[in-house]
A = this chain, B = another copy of it.
Amino acid sequence: MRQARAATNKVRIEEVARLAGVSPITVSRALNTPDKVNEKTRAAVFAAVEQTGYIPNRLAGSLASNRNRTIGVIIPTITNSIFADKVQGLSDTLTPAGYQILLGQSGYSIDREADLVAAFLAQSPSGLVVTGSAHSQRTQTMLKRSGVAVVETWTRNETPLDMQVGFSNEDAAFEMVRHLHSAGYRRIALVVASYADNDRAQGRLRGYRRAVNDLGIADAAIELQAEFSFSEGARALNELMAKRRKIDAIFFANDILAVGAILECQRRGIRVPQDVGIAGFDDLEIATVSVPSLTTVSIPRYDIGVTTAQLLLRRLDGETNLPGVDLGFRIVPRESTRRVG
């Protein structure tokens, strides 16, 4: 006879069952579907669980049942608080429902996204949450083959992989430029993140271009790229202010850049909004407390997480044909852009 494999020292379902005087499957049922078990039996099982400190082995359970109460979440970087808010929304909704979150950061690379998708699929997750709609072919193939529920967030378009929860980045940028125009600005620059493989940045760029064209102010348009930081906002401001052809407003594609620019204006004695109007994107708390307060685009960061989680839970509950959800955006005029009239 072969030697048996070294078993773990952990409590197993069998031990609980022995103690409760029932079979292992009854323990399983008492824990997973309590109403399918007699009240007295249930009590005995719970007592035995308590006494032994039994923690079910989900690896075994998931393997047997072929479903794992885990949701893979892939974001560009947790360091950008807009994604932290989304993760919070996901967590607040999924954790009470008994799901765990596997977190991965793509660093804005669709290749690293693909690696994470592969790693996550290996865990047989119940669902996957990704950011944006720019994915590598490999990612799309894997997702399709796996048949796992997928939600693309922070975006809206006509060709979802599966489900989507977000808003139109293009429309949001378009509306902000229109707002700046109606506030009297005519020479409006855009500062946006690198848009390689970033459909959100691409959308905002499209919205900006469409707006300046529609408004007939395209000749004064300037586009700049910047990383995500306060100091990059200051750098972009300085670069734009040094141009021969003066601009009179800057639309930053996120609030951190915009506030960095406002602070640089303060240091340099440039008046906002008189000398230059400044607008942001995201509506972080700092936009309301900044001096001057920041005109920006409010987006439902936390709600994207909550809605995504709810959609996933409904799908996992068997619902099909779930819709793409457009949670919209809102232009929030504040002190950093000139008043109309």
What are 30 A-B contacts with C-beta separation under 8 Å?
Answer: A10-B145, A10-B146, A55-B146, A56-B122, A57-B63, A57-B122, A57-B124, A58-B122, A58-B124, A60-B63, A63-B63, A77-B88, A78-B84, A79-B81, A79-B84, A79-B88, A81-B84, A88-B105, A91-B103, A95-B116, A100-B119, A100-B123, A101-B103, A101-B104, A102-B102, A229-B285, A230-B288, A231-B288, A267-B291, A286-B286
Check A59–B63 contact: CB distance below 8 A.
yes
Check A263–B234 contact: CB distance below 8 A.
no
Determine if A332 is an interface residue (Cβ-Cβ < 8 Å).
no
Check B102–A100 contact: CB distance below 8 A.
yes
- Name the one of B55, B60, B231 contacting A142, with C-beta atoms under 8 angstroms: B55
**Given contacts A57-B122, A63-B60, is CB(A260)–CB(B231) below 8 Å?**
no
In angstroms, Cα B58 to Cα A118, docked, is 11
Q: Can you list, as one digit per residue, whether each of A1-38 has a CB less than 8 Å from chain B (1) or not (0)? A: 00000001110000000000000000000000000000
- Name the one of B81, B105, B123 contacting A91, with C-beta atoms under 8 angstroms: B105
Determine if A251 is an interface residue (Cβ-Cβ < 8 Å).
no
In angstroms, Cα B230 to Cα A289, docked, is 7
In angstroms, Cα B53 to Cα A260, docked, is 46
Q: Supply 15 further A-B pairs (C-beta < 8 A) apart from A57-B122, A263-B291.
A: A55-B146, A57-B124, A58-B124, A59-B62, A59-B63, A59-B68, A79-B81, A79-B88, A81-B81, A91-B103, A101-B104, A230-B286, A231-B285, A231-B288, A266-B291
What B residues does A229 contact at CB under 8 A?
A: 285
What B residues does A68 contact at CB under 8 A?
A: 59
**Given contacts A102-B102, A122-B57, A231-B285, is CB(A87)–CB(B78) below 8 Å?**
yes
Determine how many copies of this chain the complex contains. 2
Check B124–A59 contact: CB distance below 8 A.
yes
Check A55–B285 contact: CB distance below 8 A.
no
- Name the one of B9, B141, B230, B267 contacting A53, with C-beta atoms under 8 angstroms: B141
What B residues does A57 contact at CB under 8 A?
A: 63, 122, 124
Check B8–A59 contact: CB distance below 8 A.
no
- Name the one of B58, B103, B267 contacting A87, with C-beta atoms under 8 angstroms: B103
Check B88–A55 contact: CB distance below 8 A.
no
Which single residue of chain B is at the shortest CB-CB distance from A73? B103
Tell me the smallest distance from the CB of A21 to a CB of chain B, in Å: 24
What B residues does A303 contact at CB under 8 A?
A: none
Determine if A44 is an interface residue (Cβ-Cβ < 8 Å).
no
Determine if A121 is an interface residue (Cβ-Cβ < 8 Å).
yes
What B residues does A121 contact at CB under 8 A?
A: 55
Determine if A154 is an interface residue (Cβ-Cβ < 8 Å).
no
In angstroms, Cα B58 to Cα A103, docked, is 16
What B residues does A63 contact at CB under 8 A?
A: 57, 59-60, 63
In angstroms, Cα B54 to Cα A118, docked, is 10
What B residues does A197 contact at CB under 8 A?
A: none
Q: Can you list, as one digit per residue, whether each of A92-126 has a CB less than 8 Å from chain B (1) or not (0)? A: 00010000111111000000000010111111100
Determine if A274 is an interface residue (Cβ-Cβ < 8 Å).
no
Tell me the smallest distance from the CB of A267 to a CB of chain B, in Å: 6
In angstroms, Cα B291 to Cα A58, docked, is 52
